[in-house]
Structure 1
Amino acid sequence: MQYCFVEGSFADLARELAEYLHVEVGDNLDANLKDEVLKKLVTASAGLNSYPEKEFTAAYNLLVYLVMQSPSVNMFLPRICENLSKPITSAPVNGAGLALNVLTTIFNLLQPDNEVRSNVFTAILRLVKNSGNFETLRPQLKKLDTWIEEWDLDEEDQRKLFGQLADVAEENGEQGESYQYVLKALRTFESAEYSSKEAQDLSLRALKAALVSTTHFDFHDLTSLPTIQALSDDHSEYSELLEIFSEKELEDYNDFRDENEDWLETEGLDNSVLHRKMRLLTLASVAASTNSKELEYKRIAKALQIPVEDVEMWVIDVIRAGLIEGKLSQQKQVFLIHRTTYRVFGEKQWREVATRLDTWRSSLRAVKEVISRERQQAEAQKERELHEAERKIAGASGMGAGRRTIGGRENMVEMGTD
């Protein structure tokens, strides 16, 4: 939370700021027409962008303090935000930071449910986009869902806000963040709008970003969106390409590329980028579909259409991409699979899981039978050893009793002799 600490009455402070801005407000102050005074001050505040840098923050804090005392505060703040969004000519290096500080102060002084707060936030986004200060904005975005609820934004306004955030993130090189905000914007469309131009433009933006991204490999977030599904009517090539990257393999992409080479170039889709990504996805699919935990180099080379000597390089790349886990065995010329990722999980994958579960169940049943037999044999052996021990103990007890009787008779004989 940020605060403005200013001392003095409204009239004294307004007169001081008016003199600084070279504005005449005496008559309105005498008549106690505060809003008229503020109109002149706010209009003149545009000139602060050319005032000395060291005086900029203090002057604006004073203006904000005066405006916040008006019951018509929402009438003045949009104009202030507009002025702050323009270049601070007196501070070409620090100007964006100075304006951002003032806007942040205004944002924090407003009540959470004040509708103007969204306008202030929009002005902050414009500044961040132009200045490249995305890192200063990132921590605050955790509260975005709460703000949207407090501002009671409808779907259209939410979509506009998400679009602005996507633009800001993209401008600052945050492609992943930008992509996520485009997806959020796409989720705001109603069923009647799925095929609208706005929906299609956003859908194509998201799809292109996902296709060329070097880190995005799971396309389920796109295939599940109705707006993306609606592309099949007017953008069939994109729909086909999405299907290939979602669940098909390199050979399918090569066929598509041969048939649509001009289209790929027109759409600005780099074939080398797509081809490399498709190889990584194909290797993930091959690893996921193998029944054993060993994948031969030759099979990988055939699926990726590469020489065997390049297999290890591609396996390392797909491990770095997080699609599979395992280790290479150069001696055996196999890739030992530890974990795989399904690109799509449908009926075929459920059947594979069912088959593996049946195999594991059979294996566990066999292990259980072996353990049961070993346990029975161990118990039988233990029982035999116990009986043998008891027999030996009983035999030993009988022999001891016989010797004592004989000894007694001997003693009696000896005693009789005496």
Structure 2
Amino acid sequence: MQSVIIVEQELKDSVKGYGQILDTANENKSRSESLDKYIDQEGKITDKLGLSNEIFESIVDLAKLSDKEFEPTFNLAVYILIELTGSMTEVLDKYPTLLTQLTNINPAKQPTLRDRKSIKASSILSLLNNIFNFLPETSKYRIEVVSKILSIVKDSQLNFNIVSQAIGQNLVQWLTTAGASEDEIRSIFWQFISLDNVEYSLETLQVIKKFTSNYKVVKLEELHSLIDFAFKTEVVDVSFLVNSNVSEAIQQYKSSDELVALFDKYVHGEIIQSPSQYPSVTEKSKILALTKFFAESNGVFVFKYADFPSTLVSSPIELETLLIKSIKAGVIEGKLNQLNESFYLTRANRFVLAGSSEDNTKNWEAVEKVLHDWKNSLHNIKDIVNTSRENIVNNQG
């Protein structure tokens, strides 16, 4: 995230220009006249503290500007404050409500595309981004800036993509370097995840996986946030989320919490009934149950319709639909033959879950068997080739 601010060559010129902009917004010259008293006839600043206080107090007037004028004028105010106090950190030390003043300017209702005058949330985000970049990596204020950015995205209902690429892969590192506590990191991380509330993307699932691999899930609400995302995403097989930390949390809460117990059944390939807030979960659980059926088929690759359990489907049409959905979900691969009512399986996902030693042992035994069969087939290739060659020669003779 790069920042560019264009200012006048001399500080006095920047101050005068800033005052003139506010005079236009206020429709009087009171602000420029008030600022001019801190500049002598030689153009020197006579009272840096008084001028910086005046600049800070004037920021509320910036809300009167159009969106086009607002962002560069706020940047100019920040530049002047930095020049007067020494650094962005010192500005925030002296004026700790600056960030709140900025975010308070964000309109409660976002302007329409045709509205070119009202200040937009994107301008507020751009300014917060600039402030973030002005701060050293170890500054505690970076924690507050990131939190403010996420709040603006949430309150303004902006597209998650605005922050997903810029923040997603760097969030934890930024917070850690800035000295955030583990509680702060967890709180801000799940605040970030909650913003992906439309697509519930695979990319965000991977971010969750990475985070929970390094941080224990210590609170039930954190586990609920993970489950909520997993149930709402279009990704069917989310078993990769169940690392040792998540598994430990599931074991801790599944006996006392209904949602956790439901998720535990889901990732183990059991058919579950959809809670009202997750209407697609039953269908997704059937896909996983079918996948588990294939994974436990002990090397069988051809299945007649009659081979499938009635708990999965009740008719050939329902079975065909489920098979097609499972292929589209990427959890199985194979070929459906409707004429002879059979399905030829070529691949099925296996459930490898941390903390599930019995299931994992079965899966690894199945994998070992497949590899053993494949190895044997390689040993027989030479004999098969020789036999085929002899048959060709005999037939030609």
TM-score w.r.t. length of structure 1: 0.72
CA distance in 2 between counterparts of 1:354 and 1:62 reads: 66
The residue aligned with 2:355 is none
Q: Deviations 1:277-335 (Å, cap 9, x if unpaired)?
A: 22111111122222222121112263513212322111101000111011111233211
Q: Determine which of 246, 249, 258 is the counterpart of 1:227.
A: 249
Quote the residue 1:159 is aligned against. Answer: 186
**Counterpart amino acid of 2:6?**
F
Structure 2 residue runs without a partner (length 5+): 24-29, 113-118, 353-358, 391-397
Contact 1:3-1:109 at 8 Å conserved across structures:
no
Residues in 2 aligned to 1:133 and 1:365: alpha-carbon distance in whole angstroms: 56
Do 2:224 and 2:260's aligned partners in 1 also have CA atoms closer than 8 Å? Answer: no
Q: Tell me which residue corresponds to 2:7.
A: 6
Q: What is the match of residue 92 of structure 1?
A: 111
Query: Which residue of 309, 321, 329 corresponds with 2:329?
Result: 321
1:79 aligns with 2:97: yes
Match of 1:124 in 2: 149
1:137 is matched with 163
Q: Partner of 2:289 in structure 1?
A: 282
Partner of 2:27: none
The one-letter code matched in structure 2 to 1:329 is N
Offset at 1:213? 3.3
Q: Give the superposition deviation at 1:63.
A: 0.2
Task: Measure, in 2, the Cα distance between the counterparts of 1:356 and 1:176.
Answer: 29
- The residue aligned with 2:393 is none
Q: Counterpart in 1 of 2:225?
A: 205
Greater Rg over alpha carbons, structure: 1
Correspondence for 1:404: none
8 A Cα contact 1:107 1:117, kept in partner: yes
Shift in alpha-carbon separation, 1:214–1:108, aligned structure 2, 3 A: same
Q: In the TM superposition, what whole-angstrom CA distance separates every residue of 1:28-53 from its partner, at most 9, and x where no partner exists?
A: 55673323322222122022112244
Q: Alignment length, in residue pairs?
A: 356
Return the structure number with greater helix share.
1
What amino acid is the match of 1:227?
A
CA distance in 2: counterparts of 1:61 and 1:104, whole angstroms: 11
Which fold has the larger relative contact order, with Cα–Cα distance below 8 Å and residues 6 or more apart in sequence? 2
Structure 2 SS opposite 1:234: coil
1:114 matched residue in structure 2: 139
**Partner of 1:33 in structure 2?**
47
Q: Which residue of 2 aligns with 1:246?
A: 267
**1:169 match:** 196
CA contact (8 A) 2:227 2:260 kept: no
Range with greater deviation from structure 2 (179-188 or 154-163) = 179-188
Distance 1:139 1:42, change over 3 A: same
Pick from 167, 175, 184: which aligns with 1:148?
175
Q: Which residue of 2 aligns with 1:399?
A: none
Instruction: Give 1:60's aligned residue.
Output: 74
Distance across 2 between alignment mates of 1:84 and 1:8: 26
**How far apart, in 2, do the equivalents of 1:218 and 1:207 lie?**
10
> Relative to structure 1, is the Cα distance of residues 165 and 342 closer, same or farther in structure 2, using a 3 angstrom cutoff?
same
Instruction: Give the aligned residue type for 2:100.
Output: E
- Residue 294 (str. 1) matches residue 319 (str. 2): no
